Structure 1
Amino acid sequence: MKKKPPFSVVYEDNHLLIVNKTAGVLVQGDKTGDKTLTDYCKDYIAKKYDKPGAVFLHPVHRLDRPVSGLVAFARTSKGLERMMELFRKRDIHKVYWAVVKRKPKEKSGKLTHWLVKDEQRNVVTAHDHEVPGSQKAELNYKTLGFMNDHWLLEVRPISGRPHQIRVQLSSMGCPIRGDLKYGFAKPNPDASINLHAFHLVFVHPVKKEKMYLRAALPEEEFWEQFLQYESVKAKDQHLDNTFSG
């Protein structure tokens, strides 16, 4: 089987590099010591711009290893500082697509939990009320459609907590397809989970233009059947805080 490239470039200028990450690639190093998306992207910049020596490139946020989609990197310290500020103020709007097996009870809704992360096991637990050491996590979701015995959800996290979407959907009784860690029955053949960071909307930190970025769905049969729902998204230029469609 042909190995998929670790990423494709979605947007690039002097300040930012935004890529569509392939599922299975780490964003930043962990104990496995596997090559990271940051390493791959630094190689790309060094080669493309013939830059000898160290390349300045920092991820502004992360995506879990089995998740695909948009990851933003800063290419300058000014870009990094300003992008971090946008994330801190929640001035970056993120839209994910998630595929689940069980139909959500409500067609759309808001989930609020308090999350506690077990660093040793790298697992997050969701609680319905505040508990010691917990962080509040909120997201909005909407059911977009049904296909091949699975439901496609659009998810907009309001906060940015580790494993947030995975654990919150699972707490609602709808674990993401392939996500064994959060209660799905069986793995996907490529060890990915069906969660894709589809859209990023923000104001460019230097050029001050409104950016609408989207990452194509993974080229994989299961995902590709959901492409018909993309037309709903294309109309979505008023994306600010509304749902598509």
Structure 2
Amino acid sequence: MGNDPIAAPAPLLPVLYEDNHLLAVIKPPGMLSQADETGEMDMVTLLKDDLKARYQKPGNVYVGLVHRLDRPVGGAMLFAKTSKAASRLSESVRSRSFDKLYVAVVHGSPEAAAGRLRHFLRKDAGRNIVSVHHKQVPDAKEAILDYAVVAKQGGLSLIAVKLLTGRSHQIRAQMAEIGCPLVYDRKYGAPAVQGEQDIALWSTSIGVAHPVTKEWLTIHAQPPKTEPWSRFRDDDFIRARSILPLEGM
């Protein structure tokens, strides 16, 4: 009995995919993607600690951040475990071959069941909020997304969203601009409701060419079975992937 192997500790976060080069996990809503001046726990630090513990690695562990999720947003997030993988994934992000699909629950429903939104967003860093403009203004950046209504339930709509640009608060601000703020997103005009939780925005799928094998890799993460996600069926979230499919699928 004294020679029994010691079981490796369980990962700190749900692991969606892992190999020698990549690690995909579910980011909890409310956690920072990377460290900031607050000193609060962030994904990169947490995963470094996790890898050191699980693989009993001495010294520093490499975790490369290649894309971000806004703090209130949860779901699939992909990290590099080597600098080579990080460099190649970062190039995929720059060339827009790093594909991401989000789902959101919004108040009401867009006038068109599917479409493309194009605005210009200007960030007020002091207030941590962006303003939406319909033409170019100083310091504003172009923001483009595709969306499709997946299902409707009790005055709410489940929306699939693909970003063509990656701007801070982009989905939140652009959906609010067309009169469909995300549920619980008071910052962008959602009505107050009882028992408020994290905003209803979730990174549900990532698609990218593997940085080493070059094979297309697809990662999925279902939203939690809590309000308002629980109003919709599992089939609705699966159908979202086919309505706005990732490249390579």
Fold conserved between structures, TM > 0.5? yes
Task: From 73, 80, 84, give the equivalent of 2:86.
Answer: 80
1:47 aligns to 2:53 (yes or no): yes
Aligned partner of 2:239 in structure 1 is: 232
Q: Quote how far apart the aligned CAs of 1:198 are.
A: 0.5
- AA aligned to 1:148 is G
Which SS does the other structure have where 1:83 is aligned? helix
Which SS does the other structure have where 2:161 is aligned? strand
Gaps of 5+ in 2: 1-10
1:97 aligns to 2:95 (yes or no): no
Distance 2:166 2:91 in 1: 13
Q: CA 1:229 to 1:185, structure 2 compared with 1: closer, same or farther past 3 Å? A: same
- 1:53-68 superposed matches below 5 A: 53-68=59-74
Distance 1:17 1:93 in 2: 16
Distance 2:66 2:225 in 1: 25
Which has the higher Rg, Structure 1 or Structure 2?
2
Distance 2:104 2:143 in 1: 17
Q: Quote how far apart the aligned CAs of 1:149 are.
A: 2.7
- 1:213-232 superposed matches below 5 A: 213-226=219-232, 227-232=234-239
Aligned partner of 1:133 in structure 2 is: 139
Q: Quote how far apart the aligned CAs of 1:176 are.
A: 0.5
1:116 aligns to 2:122 (yes or no): yes
Q: Does the 8 A contact of 2:101 with 2:246 survive in 1?
A: no
**TM-score (structure 1 length as normaliser):** 0.90
Distance 1:118 1:232 in 2: 36
Alpha-carbon RMSD across the aligned residues, in angstroms, is 2.1
Gaps of 5+ in 1: none
- AA aligned to 1:114 is F
Q: CA 1:109 to 1:236, structure 2 compared with 1: closer, same or farther past 3 Å? A: closer
1:182 aligns to 2:188 (yes or no): yes
**TM-score (structure 2 length as normaliser):** 0.89
- AA aligned to 1:230 is F
Distance 1:188 1:101 in 2: 15
1:148 aligns to 2:154 (yes or no): yes
Q: CA 1:145 to 1:16, structure 2 compared with 1: closer, same or farther past 3 Å? A: same
1:202 aligns to 2:208 (yes or no): yes
Which SS does the other structure have where 2:14 is aligned? strand
Deviation track 1:127-161 (CA, whole Å, cap 9, x = no partner) reads 10111111111000000011233100000110111
Distance 1:188 1:24 in 2: 19
Deviation track 1:89-128 (CA, whole Å, cap 9, x = no partner) reads 0001111001001111111110001111111111111110
Distance 2:245 2:75 in 1: 21
Deviation track 1:180-220 (CA, whole Å, cap 9, x = no partner) reads 11111126746410000111111111110101111121242
Distance 2:228 2:212 in 1: 38
How many percent of aligned residue pairs carry the same amino acid? 39
- AA aligned to 2:36 is D
Q: What is the number of equivalent residue pairs in this alignment?
A: 238
